[in-house]
Structure 1
Amino acid sequence: MRPVLRKVAALAAGVILLGGCHGGTHSSGATVIGLTYVPNVQFSGIYLALDNGNYSSHKLNVELRHHGNDEGVFTALVSGDEQVVLATGDEVVQARSQGMDVISVATYYREQPNVILTRKDTGIKTVGDLKGKKIGIPGEYGSSWLALQAYLASANMTTSDVNVMSIGYTQTSALSKGDVDAIVGFANNEAVQLSAAGVDAQAVECDCTIPLVSASLVTTPQWAKDHANELKELLAATQEGMTTAVEHPDQAFAATEKRDTTLSDEKTRETATKILTATNLLILGANSTVSLEQDTSRWNEMLSFMSSVSGLLQQDVLLDQVMTNDYVPRS
């Protein structure tokens, strides 16, 4: 496990997580950034870029949209209802292999947060210790499924060496009750929930790099081409907001509080603060700086890994089809 990810997992010990087309312009004339799901401190850097006037100072009219989990990740993007969306690198690659014209233009999390978590009383410490054990995942899809395969491969194992159990988004409960021996989750999500539930859990040790790209800012190649200057300004403003969130977590929390109605009691507020701290570690990465520049080596590693997973990609995908650093701010 990379040092920064180990640090995030350790930090989680003490709290719960809160509960085709070319892409035109929004009807209001705004550039819409899709953040998926529900308001959360994990998006606070983007909230701050809007609230503190970073976007407006770059002469941008930006709106934020949480489209929930009943809508496809890229549905609004390719229809033109969103111009940029937050999505993971593996989602971009799979979509591109299916013929969807999407491309990642910036990184959001510099570290991928997938971890394998187990209770300390199981005696499971390393990936090799998982042989024959029951491992809970949401389902055989997405980054959790891919991360599990990557972790197992690091110990010369495959999913046939373990008992994979698709349990939906009930990992915390399943591990707490002993229904599974381990789960695949996120360092700034399930690890936090387990600690809040009083479960003495730990991340399984792995001296390996999981070849996955996590949260990224994604658009369509056509929109990027047609709005190149606007996209550059948008990414610069976003980076400014993210930097503020890291340097001034109190502002990040306040920006989230305006949008997240669950922050109504001391416990959830404490939780959000811990989640913010854990998330900022993922944003900063190993060299502790905010940068939207994407790691081409990591992308190449992910492409190679995903190509090796039987039946995952419908066609070959090239690096320049799924990512570019042409629009990110340069230091």
Structure 2
Amino acid sequence: MTANQFSRRTFLGGTAAGAGLLLGGSSLITACSGSTEPPPAAPLTPVNFHLSWFDSVQFGGSYLADANGHYAGQGLDVTLVPGGPGVSPDTSVIAGQSIMGISAANFAGQAKADGAPIKIVGVAMQRNPFVIASLTSNPINEPKDLEGRRLGMAFNNQLDLELLSSLNGVDVNAIEVIQADYDPAPLVNGEVDSLLCWLVDLPVAMTVAGIDNTTMLFADFGYAVHSQTYIVTEDTLANRRDDVLALLRGEILGWQDHKADPDTSAQVTVDRFPDAGMDLETETVKAHEFVKLMFSDVTDASGFLWWTDQSVADNIRVLKALGVNVTEDFWDRSLLEEIYAGGPVL
């Protein structure tokens, strides 16, 4: 989905020429020779930005960055590449297909530990949104409750499940994992006992539909993993730093718009994808919930995408428990420090 491009044209002739005619021939010559067309605007730089999931208001700030001209204002023509099960933004970034991608510290950390030259340059989620959702009539209240139960999830969340299990002494092999579409239907229809999902997705859809559900937040059980992280390669940082800065600025401006008006963000998202079957009420509720997840005292003080040294230490500790060894230099805050040199709001 290529960003909309709004071209500006300078209309010359009518008014200036008419004035010249009124003033006579010499004046006309003077007017025409003195009227110079401004140089054409520099062409926009095309970049791919790989999102981590299907199109939804999860990326509402990015859609607003496009719709409100923030990307173009930074000199970029941004293609927002959707993700989904089996689609790896990390691979896209590492292969040079996308200048930046949205990942998570565990996925990107594993790639980093395997030798991928990538860095985290932004952290959108101030609190990890993963939950186990279940019906209130048959609830999952703590990780141990998963043993002997059927869990519906996408296969690319296996690492998250293993990490949660490792942190809480759960035998992951005792959980019957069933690959399921990202939809409440398998749970509601009794095909599974629970779903691994985000707090702002399937639980919201069930609540809007009047289905009583229970959520167990991973973050309440030691899962301190940065989510919706912005990743780039070290080569990109070295050789295309200005483009990365421009993309981050566009993103920040878009998410500031989302925070200021979540309802409009939901409407823009639904209108952008008319064939996606989105429900405006659901996307609106989600848009407001994302504000709670993505903005905090930390972002109020330092700016959107910021993270703390303590959160890095927590991530290193938790990832190490899973055998993923990363160090502090996996996170690079230098771009945000440059962007927010004048304060936490652009």
TM-score, normalised on structure 2? Answer: 0.73
Q: Quick one: structure 1 residues 150 and 231, their matched pair in 2 at CA, closer, same or farther if it must change by over 3 Å? A: same
The reply to whether residue 84 of structure 1 matches residue 100 of structure 2 is yes
- 1:263-302, aligned counterparts within 5 Å? 268-285=279-296, 289=300, 291-302=304-315
- List per-residue Cα deviations over 1:121-149 (Å, max 9, x = no partner): 22553445x1644040425653x642564
* Alignment equivalent of 2:228, drawn from 215, 239, 244: 215
Residue aligning to 1:4: none
Identify the structure with bigger relative contact order (alpha carbons < 8 Å, sequence gap 6+): 1
Which secondary structure state, in structure 2, belongs to the residue aligned with residue 122 of structure 1?
coil
C-alpha separation in 1, matches of 2:96 and 2:199? 33
Question: Is this contact kept in 2: 1:41–1:256, CA < 8 A?
Answer: yes
| Aligned position for 2:202 | 190
> Which residue pairs with 2:3 in the alignment?
none
Is 1:317 the equivalent of 2:326? Answer: yes
Task: Confirm or deny: 8 A CA contact 1:33 1:62 kept in the other structure.
Answer: no
- Following TM superposition, by how much is the alpha carbon of 1:28 offset from its aligned partner in structure 2, in angstroms? 7.5
Match of 2:334 in 1: 326
**Residues in 1 aligned to 2:91 and 2:281: alpha-carbon distance in whole angstroms:** 34
Q: Tell me the residue number matched to 2:179.
A: 167
5+ residue gaps, structure 2: 1-42
Letter paired with 1:175: L
The alpha-carbon deviation at position 83 of structure 1 amounts to 0.7
Of the structure 1 ranges 78-87 and 296-305, higher mean CA displacement relative to structure 2 is found in 296-305
8 A contact 1:34–1:65 mirrored in 2: yes
Quote the sequence identity (%): 16
- Contact 1:86-1:217 within 8 A present in 2 as well: yes
Q: Using a 3 Å threshold, how does the CA distance of structure 1 residues 45 and 116 change in structure 2: closer, same or farther? A: same
- Give the conservation status (yes or no) of the 8 Å contact 1:135–1:184: no
CA 96–248 in structure 1, closer or farther in 2 if over 3 Å, else same = same
Q: Structure 2 vs 1, CA of residues 298 and 150 (structure 1 numbering), >3 Å: closer, same or farther?
A: farther
Number of the residue aligned with 2:262: 249
Whole-Å separation in 2 of the counterparts to 1:237 and 1:131: 41
SS in 1 for 2:45: coil
Question: What are the equivalent positions in structure 2 for 1:88-167 lying under 5 Å apart?
Answer: 88-122=104-138, 124-127=140-143, 130=145, 132-138=147-153, 141-142=156-157, 145-147=159-161, 149-150=163-164, 153-154=167-168, 157-159=169-171, 162-167=174-179
Is this contact kept in 2: 1:30–1:61, CA < 8 A? yes
| Aligned-partner SS, 1:218 | strand
Closer/same/farther in 2, CA of residues 34 and 121 from structure 1, 3 Å limit: same
Alignment match, 1:35 = 51
Distance 1:287 1:220 in 2: 26
Per the TM alignment, residue 188 of structure 1 is displaced from its structure 2 partner at its CA by: 1.1
Asked if 1:232 is matched to 2:245, the reply is: yes
Question: What is the letter of the counterpart of residue 192 of structure 1?
Answer: V
Aligned counterpart, 2:65: 49
**Cα distance in 2 for residues equivalent to 1:307 and 1:169:** 30
- Quote the offset at 1:94 in angstroms: 1.3
Question: Structure 2 CA distance, aligned partners of 1:178 and 1:77?
Answer: 38
Contact 1:114 1:185 in 2 (8 A): yes
Per-residue CA distance 1:150-195 (angstroms, 9 max, x = gap): 26734xx322595332333367333223344333221011212333
1:307 corresponds to: 320
User: Residue 216 of structure 1: CA displacement?
Assistant: 1.3
Contact 2:270 2:279 in 1 (8 A): no
Q: Residue in 1 aligned with 2:28?
A: none
Secondary structure of 2:247's aligned partner:
helix
Alpha carbons of structure 1 residues 131 and 36: separation in structure 2 relative to 1, 3 Å: closer
2:216 to 201, 204, 215: 204
Which structure would you say has the larger Rg? Answer: 2
Secondary structure (helix, strand or coil) at the match of 1:30 reads strand
CA distance in 2: counterparts of 1:139 and 1:43, whole angstroms: 20
Query: In structure 1, how many angstroms separate the alpha carbons of the residues matched to 2:271 and 2:210?
Result: 29
